[in-house]
Amino acid sequence: MAPAGSVLQMIGNTPMLELTRMDTGPCRLFLKLENQNPGGSIKDRIGLAMIEAAERDGRLQPGGTIVEATAGNTGLGLALVAAQKGYRLILVIPDKMSADKIRHLRALGAEVRLTRSDVPKGHPEYYQDMAERIVAETPGAFWASQFDNPANPMAHETTTGPEIWAQLDGKVDALVAGVGSGGTISGTGRFLKSRNPALKVVVADPEGSVVAGAVETGQVRFEDGSWLVEGIGEDFIPPNLDLSVIDEGVTVGDREAFAAVNELLRSEGILAGTSTGTLLAGALRWCRRQTAPLNVVSFVCDTGNKYLSKAYDGAWLADQGLVDRPRTGDVSDLIA
């Protein structure tokens, strides 16, 4: 591989791994390793795409300001690209977010405005409402707005989808993905179905989220649920989620998701984030139900480095009821 002239050129074109040590039933299961993007997640793609789309249509001028309400990987992706391109970035973040995530964002040069986590939509301190106010008060500010910015699904339609098609030589029968903003599943699903209309798109959704139910019943039933996997699961249908692309929903509980990421690390050597647990558990269950030898693709959405003290910590898992606590009280070997 030739040397890259900028870290931005290293976004995308991620490798793909076939799982050979896990029981995938009659299927072959491939994971696209989005943890290998320079910012550590699939969101680098949309950080770059949303900023470059705004540059093209003039919403973002040289030296301008980008605003987003997120503590997650989208913030990191935007911070990476904004720093490289010389933009100011303001991120509005609920105060329950981990100190390490905030350190990482500040170290990349982002301005972090903390706000309350305990207020609902419509409250002036709700993080989305606060971002909207900052945009209105800051001349020349561009609101990235991943939930309804069309550059988000488009990034996956023009990069993630074509990469998968090329890596599997057009032999792909099903896609399993999660929904945060809906960009990944909508854009990747749209591209793959344009090439293979028989391809199945399956959403793997945390228990308590509304997406899988909306796919199965056509109705959004608010569940008042909460889940511990991060980055996916919704209590509404984001504008960027194209439900018509999705054929099936699989619901995955936290216990199964956290077990799956630990098994992925032990058996295949991949340290993945927690949303990958939901996707992998959902994909494995879907694969084992099949009777034909299908090629199935899913994602490692982000690196597990950020979750070492949670998903990969036996005591934390036991405290959350995600693994059984041994009678001796010794939790050190729970996930060994």
Give the nearest distance from C-beta 178 to ligand PMP in angstroms. 5
Q: For residue 280, which phi and psi values (nearest 5 degrees)?
A: -65, -45
Angle, in degrees to the nearest 10, between helices 43-56 and 73-85 = 50
- Residue 35, classified by CB atoms within 10 Å of its CB into exposed (0-12), middle (13-18) or buried (19+), is buried
Q: Enumerate binding residues for ligand PMP (CB under 6 A).
A: 41, 43, 72-73, 178-184, 231-232, 273, 275, 301-302
**Measured CA distances, 23 to 97, 170, 229 (Å):** 35, 24, 23
Give the span between the Cα atoms of 68 and 266, in whole angstroms.
36
- 64 vs 262, which CB is nearer to ligand PMP? 262
Q: For residue 33, which phi and psi values (nearest 5 degrees)?
A: -85, 80
- 24 vs 275, which CB is nearer to ligand PMP? 275
- What is the 8-class DSSP label of residue 4? P
Nearest Cα residue to 149 out of 70, 217, 202: 70
- 129 vs 234, which CB is nearer to ligand PMP? 234
- 24 vs 209, which CB is nearer to ligand PMP? 209
Give the nearest distance from C-beta 284 to ligand PMP in angstroms. 17
- 78 vs 301, which CB is nearer to ligand PMP? 301
Angle, in degrees to the nearest 10, between helices 99-107 and 73-85 = 10
Cβ partners under 8 Å of residue 188, min gap 6: 156, 157, 160, 161, 164, 175, 177
Judge whether 171 counts as a catalytic residue. Answer: no
What is the set of active-site residues?
Answer: 43
